[in-house]
Amino acid sequence: MLMKQGQPKGVLRRRSSLFARGEPMVWLTGGSLTLCLLMIVGLLVLVFARGCSTFVVAPITQIETKDGKVYLGEITREDTFEPGPEVLEALEKEQGKAAVDKIKANEGQVTRRLMRTGNFEYSGEHFHWVTDFDIAKESTPEWAVVVERHAREEASGRFYGEPVAFRIDGEVVAEGNEAAWKKFLELHPEILERREERLGIEENELGDIRDRRGEGRLELRRVELDHGKDSEQYRQQQARQTEINKKIDEDKLAIDEKIRKLIEENERYQIDFEITQRDQPVSLYLTDIVRAYPANQLTSGEKREVYLSRWGEFLLDEPREANQEGGVYPAIFGTVIMTLIMCILVVPFGVLAALYLREYAKQGTLVSIVRIAVNNLAGVPSIVFGVFGLGFFCYIVGANIDELFYAEKLPNPTFGKGGIMWASFTLALLTLPVVIVATEEALAAVPNSMREGSYACGASKWQTIQRIVLPRAMPGVITGMILAVARGAGEVAPLMLVGAVKLAPELPVDGTFPFIHGERSFMHLGFHIFDVGFQSPNAEAAKPMVFTTTLLLIFIVVSLNLVGIWVRGRLRKQFVGT
């Protein structure tokens, strides 16, 4: 043992502290990083697994309980629970002591399964729990069919049954499971085509009729505001509008007749199903059926086809069944467009602000206060930005725009309400501090020697910034944009106040002039997740959609970020070493 010089023999040197060594901190920091990564990966794996399994075709199970009831549907999940004394006492009275002893032998645990039974208009419930000790018989019927359908009056949600007959104009033309199903497969595609044709007419031709009526009313209102109701111009415009309305009414009658014929033709066809909730078969119109398949007969290829068909519907169609079924295309479109508009707004202003603070402003107390304010602004709750956007953009800026350019539409606001433009402005303000800070750090990382060399060659301040500083700081600017996309695309609270809605029938970008409609409300994937997860009347049916929409939102944000990372990498390669 070594001793300090002059230290008495036999006295040991004091050992160094554990925290003075490097190894414990390495293990601590490495362990913390590993834990964080495990949590992130675990979350992503959960979302990916639950999201991808949402549209998997499940077998249809029929369960007969000991009290004589029959349930037909899909098993969605199962869990175990410990029944209370009251349940055990009632079970002993109904099924005897052997049933209770069996539960006790299993450590008091009972397995129960949640069945999606559907047929809500006949059963009053979409799901039903079945415990193992209640089951008398369990089977998988060969001809059990899953029906995904459009809502009609009180009929909504999934439907489960066995096909027994096919009707045309009320007359049975095919009877029995196989014959009825064969007739369904033969006629259903053309009925879907007629339904799509009808929806297209309603959206386009009837939409054009509504637009023509609206333009006529607005033109008459403009003349009234400019010349008054007692003017000759108003009377002339009123007469012209009367003639126009006659032509519009004639066109509408012809369109209504086309729609009526399509509806009548489609409603000639019905298929009868035998269900567990009623003794008599029930009829479904084929026009209400989105998709139907005998789950217990499908081959692997057919199951894959149904799975991909559901994904296609989810990505390309509009929502239905209170957003619990159908697609999220309007939400995808609104999310991407809003994020791109936000980036177009926030990046130029963020870069200009950072350039002034770093390159032009005289460093001192005032600039330090501005920097502190910008950093603090990044920590303001997002709902505060939403309130500001509603009050300033909608009620002040938008209201003034309406008074100046859309007075004929008042009191119905055009820009004086939530819309995708005001939502993008609000999120641009929300993410502006992120871009400013990232850009300032990128500008500060450019060596001063490059600036001085540029000045020495006779370049001006702006020429130096334009040709030397900004190109080398651009990777940092792109980093700020990536962070802004990650922050803005997932925000929900401010959007609830400035434009995001549960269902938006019109997209903010379409083929009608002026093509980009900043005043329109829009759907957003984040708001869609909130609505389906917490506002849905059928939480169990909505739960799979929450995971699927979450997976899609993560995919979109990651895709936008990857584009930014690719651009940043190209810029970094271009200017490295120059």
Q: How would you write 287-307 as a 3-class SS string?
A: HHEEEEECHHHCCHHHHHHHH
| Banded pLDDT at 1 (limits 50, 70, 90) | very low
State the pLDDT at residue 2.
Answer: 46
Q: What is the pTM of this model?
A: 0.86
**Is the predicted pLDDT of residue 534 greater than 70, yes or no?**
yes
| Whole-angstrom distance, CA of residue 441 vs CA of residue 428 | 20
> Region 285-291: what's the mean pLDDT?
93
| Whole-angstrom distance, CA of residue 363 vs CA of residue 357 | 8
State the pLDDT at residue 518.
Answer: 87
Residues 141-182 pLDDT 10s: 999 999 999 888 777 889 999 999 999 999 999 999 999 999
Q: Exposed e or buried b for every residue in 375-385, given b needs 16+ CB within 10 A?
A: eebeeeebeeb
Q: In three state form, how does the secondary structure of 40-73 look?
A: HHHHHHHHHHHHHCCCCCCCEEEEEECCCCEEEE
**Is the predicted pLDDT of residue 21 greater than 70, yes or no?**
no
294: which strand partners? none
State the pLDDT at residue 422.
Answer: 94
Instruction: Please return the burial class of 371, using the count of CB atoms within 10 Å of its CB with bins 0-12, 13-18 and 19+.
Output: middle
> Region 399-423: what's the mean pLDDT?
90
112: which strand partners? 79, 131
Rounded to 5 degrees, φ, ψ at 130 are: -125, 120
Q: Is domain 60-140 classified as CATH 2.30.30?
A: yes
Which region among 11-15, 109-113, 326-330, 357-361 has the lowest average model confidence (pLDDT)?
A: 11-15
> Which helix (H) or strand (E) is 283 found in, with range?
strand 282-285
State the pLDDT at residue 14.
Answer: 58
| Whole-angstrom distance, CA of residue 418 vs CA of residue 329 | 20
Q: Higher-confidence residue: 335 or 86?
A: 335
Q: Which residues contact 191 (CB under 8 A, 6 or more apart)?
A: 266, 269, 286, 287
| Whole-angstrom distance, CA of residue 349 vs CA of residue 382 | 20
Return the amino acid letter for 474. M
| Whole-angstrom distance, CA of residue 317 vs CA of residue 334 | 14
**Tokens in use for 170?**
């009320």
For domain 334-575, give the fold. MetI-like fold (1.10.3720)
Q: Do domains 60-140 and 334-575 have the same CATH topology?
A: no
Domain spans in the chain, listed from the N-terminal domain onward? 60-140, 161-297, 334-575
**Is the predicted pLDDT of residue 266 greater than 90, yes or no?**
yes
State the pLDDT at residue 397.
Answer: 94
